[in-house]
Amino acid sequence: MKQALRELEGHIAVACMALLVVITLLNVLVRYFTDQSFAWTEEISVFLMGLMCFAGAASVAGRDQHIRIEFFYDGGSASRQRSLKIFSSAVSVVFFLVLSYLFTRLTMDEIKYEETSMGLGIPRWWYSVWLPPLCMAIALRTLWWGLKVARVPLVTEDKA
């Protein structure tokens, strides 16, 4: 199940990148040959980049592969490394829960005020509705990792 979820998140990120390449190439070719550009390409590209970033972040959160300052992490004892993992997981969970809440408020406001996008004129919430669940996915994956680290007993070396 965990592997399938990671693969799904990875596939979403790859699909977003592929669509970005196609849309950008199409816009460049049209601009080159006609001196015009598609107004909607920037709007779709920004949405795809956001979706790609959050899907990728959820994927690496489940494997504890987010960027960290290795100098502080590697320089300490096993106890310090474990404490830093648990602390960073807790901070990340809180951050992404707050971000999910804020994106939910944003989406609700976009629905309430019937905001539409500039390029295509479609409801803006179509773009932002995906962000709260992706933030929750990152928070849950990070929480899972932090709990996994916290449950493993700390093995100390004897100094005999």
Give pLDDT, residue 22.
96
Whether the CB-CB separation of 122 and 116 falls below 8 Å is answered with yes
Find how far residue 47's CA is from the centre of its chain. 13
Q: What is the DSSP letter of 123?
A: B
Torsion of CA 100, 106, 109, 110, to 10 degrees: -120
Beta-carbon count within 10 A of 2 CB: 10
Give pLDDT, residue 160.
46
Q: Domain locations in the chain? A: 2-151
pTM: 0.83
Q: Which residues pair with 123 in a beta bridge?
A: 116
Give pLDDT, residue 8.
87
Give pLDDT, residue 38.
84
Strand, coil or helix: 116: strand
User: What is the mean pLDDT, run by run of 10 residues, along the chain of 160 residues?
Assistant: 80 92 93 88 92 88 78 81 90 96 98 93 94 94 92 67
